[in-house]
Structure formats: C-alpha cells, structure tokens
Structure 1
Amino acid sequence: MNWLLRLGPVVVLVALWQLATVNSASPFFPPPVDIAERAWQLWFSTPFLTENFWADVVPSMLRALAGWFAGAVVGVGIGLAAGQWSRAAGYLDPPVNFLRSLPKPAIVPVFLIVFGASDVMRVGLIAFGCVWPVLLNTMQGVRSVDPTYREAARAFHLPVRTQFLRVIVPAAMPKIVAGMRVTLSLSLILMVLSEWLLAEHGLGYFLITSQRTFLVLDMWAAVVMLGVTGYLLNVLFLAVEKRVLAWHRDN
C-alpha cells in the first residue's frame, strides 16, 4: 500500500503532462505516452534488449558506477584518516577545500589534456566529482562519534587498530553511507557531462546528438531513461543500505 501512495504524485504529474501536451502543436514537448513508446523502441523492443541499449545505456552505467566507486573508496580512505588524526587533517584541509571548490565543468579540459578522450578520462572526472561529498561526510562522521564509545574502547584496553575498525568506523558509517548516496546521483550528472565531449556512444552522447539533430522525441526518451536509471540505482542503494545499517535503524 505504501508504494501505491508513493507512486500517486508521479501518476498525477504524468497524467497532467499527458493532458497538457496531447493536443499541443508544439514539437518540443511531446506527450509522455509518445516518449515511453520511443524509449521502448530504442532500448527494450527485443527479447534481450536492443543493440542501442548495449551501446548507450550499459557503457554509461559502467562509467558512472566505476567513477562513483573509485571516488567513494578514495573519499572514505582520506576521510577516515583526516577525521581520526588532526595532524592529517591539517595537511589535507587546504588542498581539499581548494579542489572541491573547483567547478566540475572547468576540470573537463584538464582531464581531456591529461587523459585524452577516453573512458579513463570519463571515469576519472566522475571520481573527481564524487570524492568530495564522501570525504567530507566521512570526516564529519568520524569527528562526531560519541566520546562515550571512545572512552569505553579505551577502558577495555582495546588495541588502537581494533578501536578504529570496530568502534570508530561503524559509528561513522551512517554519515559515510549518506555521502555515498548523494554522490550516486552526482555520478550520473558527471557521466552525461563527460559524454558530451568527443564520445562515440553512451546516453550522454545519445542525448546531445539528438538535441543537435533536432530529434526531440529521442532527446526526451534519453532524459526519461536517465531519470528512471537514477531512480532504480537509488532504490537498489537503499536496499543495500537497509541491510548494512540494520543495526543503526533498530536503535
């Protein structure tokens, strides 16, 4: 019943969109039924998905997830060190604050020069954009661990490594996971941005090519596909988070 209530606003918005555009003469705002039909033709009209699906959707998702994962690993690693040891934070704060303040589109030319128009460039750009929210959330999570936990660990004379891995990291995990969830949608944004430049396939490439060639229905189909993909990734992430942080939700 809950999922029906959640889908209610979406159904209402789509219905209003359909009513507003079904009799419209504007070629730039097609009805959602036409967009859904075109998306089906492009990516789902064969039993094992279409060639366009394997050429557009799969490479884009692999790039986005690879960049997201790489950024999360680096962000968690540096964030744990900076959050736990103040000396490390002193060294890391200036470059971190400088690099995270750079607009991500301004970094694209640098990555193009260094790595060329390759998947390494695209994955690296996504990772660069995803690392900072995870890093900052991880630092904040470590620094906000209840002092009682730290005192209890010291009272039981736990080794420093055990204190860190069994007490500090689990206590900071909710904030770490929150940062990773935020960057999941950011990875899709950066994936699209990276594929607008000198790409040969991918959803971002398909979207910008459709826009430049005035294939409006294809452009809208790509936008909807990106939205649906992002929603499904978020649902999957929440399912994993529910299992990983079950102990936290029960408290």
Structure 2
Amino acid sequence: MNLKWLRTVGTEVWLPVVLIAIWWFASLNSKSTYFPSLSKITAAFSRDWLNPEKALANLIPSLQLLGLGYILAVVAGVIVGILLGLTDVLERATRPLLEILRAIPGVALLPIFMVLFGIGVEMKIALIAFGAFWPVLLNTVDGVRGIEPTLTDVARVFRISPARRLWSIVLPGASPQIFAGARTSLAISLIILVVSETVGADGGIGYFLLAAQRNFQVTSMWGAIVALGILGYLLNIVFRIIESGVLKWHRQLQARLENAK
C-alpha cells in the first residue's frame, strides 16, 4: 500500500518539479520588472503566504466565501438536477434556457450582481453559487437520466416508496456524474472568487492580488498567483479524498464487473 502511494505521488510530482527547476534556472538572471526571477517570487511568497498571520488574514475570508458559495451551488444543483432528471417533460422544456444561461460566464454578470446584491459578502456568495451551479445541475440531470430503467421499474413493481427510491437508486446511480460536475464547479468557484474579491473587499486572495498590482509590487503579485495555484491543488486533493470515500462502492462494483468479463 505504501509503495503504491509513493508511486502515485511520484507520478504526480515529477513533472511539476522538472518545470519548476527549468523556470528557476531560466529566470535566474532575469532583469525584467514584470517577469522577475523565481527566486524573488519565492522570497515574496514566503514573506506573504508562509507567515501565518498574513496568510490567515487573506485565506480565511476567501475560504469562507468559497465554501458558502460552493456548497450552495452543489446543493441547489443536485436538487434541481434530480427534479429535472425525473421529469422528462420539464427537462425538455427547460433545456434550451439552461443551455443559454450555462453559456454566460459568471464573471460577466458581476455588474448585474452588484446592482442586485450590493458589493458585500452576499454578492460574492451569490456570484460564486451562480457560476458553480450549472456543471452540477447538468451532470446531475445526465446522471439521473442515465440510470438503468430496469432498476426503477423493479422498484415500482415492489412498491418501494419514492423517498426510498430516491435515496437507494437515484442518488447512488447519479453520484459519479454528480461528483464529476462538482469537480468542475470547484475550479469555476475559485476563479469567480478571485474576480469577486476585486470589488468591495478588504481581504482575501483577490483583494491581495489587486492591491499588489496597483502598488506595482510585482513579486508579491506573482507570489499570490503561486499561492492561488497551490490552494487550488490542495482543494482538489481534499475533493479527491471525499470522492474516493463516497464512491468506493462504485469502484468496487466496476472492478467486479471487469473481473466477471
């Protein structure tokens, strides 16, 4: 088990390590104001993001907004997606509207959300939730509609209650698709978070990034970009751990089906 874990980590880490080494030596003698050497960026990153007091002051507001907006999007996306997936007529009627709204980037609606909700926390949470809602919704619809019809027919024959049918058949059957949409939504949420924090915020990664840009603190700006990338990677690891635990039954079932072949 430990050997497998080390092999997995090694497979994921070797390319970033090589690219960082190339970046380090290629930029070592850089004199550019806008593209400083990686050593200077690393020093700025250590100063701004490895200092617990400074890091927490910017990370906690961002994580709170991200968590609230993302959870709201996932819950709403799953509920509405199940409703549309189980109601064929309603799904066909709303599909064109959903595709139109889905095509509009959440960040493009920032001015509208500012008018509707102001420039406070509510606007940021609503904007994140709106942008992250669509991948979860559409994947949930596809997951529900992709459930084997025989399962639902058997459930009706045995007069299984709708609530139990939902919990025992619909949710488990659609869960792989739901998690696929939730993974996409997590990346979208992080992007919208940074954009939303550039308006009416007094803290957060987006605010820090904008302040560094306006004050011509180029190394601090690059350091914030590195911190944002690391945060996204860590959030993805947490998501994969949760997904691995929840969908363990699905992987075991797939393995049994492969062995049966």
- TM tier, shorter chain? over 0.9
Residue aligning to 1:80: 82
- Please identify, of 27-36 and 164-173, the stretch whose mean Cα deviation from structure 2 is larger: 27-36
User: In the superposition, relative to structure 1, how do residues 152 and 32 fare at CA in structure 2: closer, same or farther (>3 Å)?
Assistant: farther
Q: What are the within-5 Å matches in structure 2 for residues 87-236 of structure 1?
A: 87-236=89-238
Instruction: Determine the C-alpha separation between the residues in 1 that align with 2:39 and 2:251.
Output: 40
- Please identify, of 22-31 and 238-247, the stretch whose mean Cα deviation from structure 2 is larger: 22-31
Could you tell me the TM-score, scaled by structure 2's length?
0.90
Report the aligned-residue RMSD.
1.5
Residue aligning to 2:18: 12
Q: Is the 8 A contact 1:207 1:222 kept in 2?
A: yes
Question: 2:47 pairs with 24, 27, 41, which one?
Answer: 41
1:42 partner letter: D
Q: Is the 8 A contact 2:58 2:208 kept in 1?
A: yes
- Please identify, of 60-69 and 92-101, the stretch whose mean Cα deviation from structure 2 is larger: 92-101
Question: 1:62 pairs with 61, 64, 77, which one?
Answer: 64
Residue aligning to 2:256: none
Instruction: Determine the C-alpha separation between the residues in 2 that align with 1:235 and 1:14.
Output: 20
1:25 and 2:31 correspond: yes
- Please identify, of 85-94 and 185-194, the stretch whose mean Cα deviation from structure 2 is larger: 85-94
* Alpha-carbon offset, residue 91 of structure 1: 4.6
Instruction: Determine the C-alpha separation between the residues in 2 that align with 1:178 and 1:23.
Output: 43
2:36 partner letter: P
Q: Which runs of 5+ in 1 are unaligned?
A: none
Q: Which runs of 5+ in 2 are unaligned?
A: 1-5, 254-261
Instruction: Determine the C-alpha separation between the residues in 2 that align with 1:239 and 1:165.
Output: 22
Identical-residue share of aligned pairs (%) = 38
Q: Is the 8 A contact 2:28 2:39 kept in 1?
A: no
Give 4+ residue runs of structure 1 displaced > 6 Å after superposition: none
* Alpha-carbon offset, residue 228 of structure 1: 0.3
User: In the superposition, relative to structure 1, how do residues 4 and 90 fare at CA in structure 2: closer, same or farther (>3 Å)?
Assistant: closer
Q: Is the 8 A contact 1:65 1:187 kept in 2?
A: no
- Please identify, of 1-10 and 118-127, the stretch whose mean Cα deviation from structure 2 is larger: 1-10
Aligned residues: 247
Question: 1:139-158 CA deviation, whole Å, 9 max, x = no partner?
Answer: 00000011232233234331
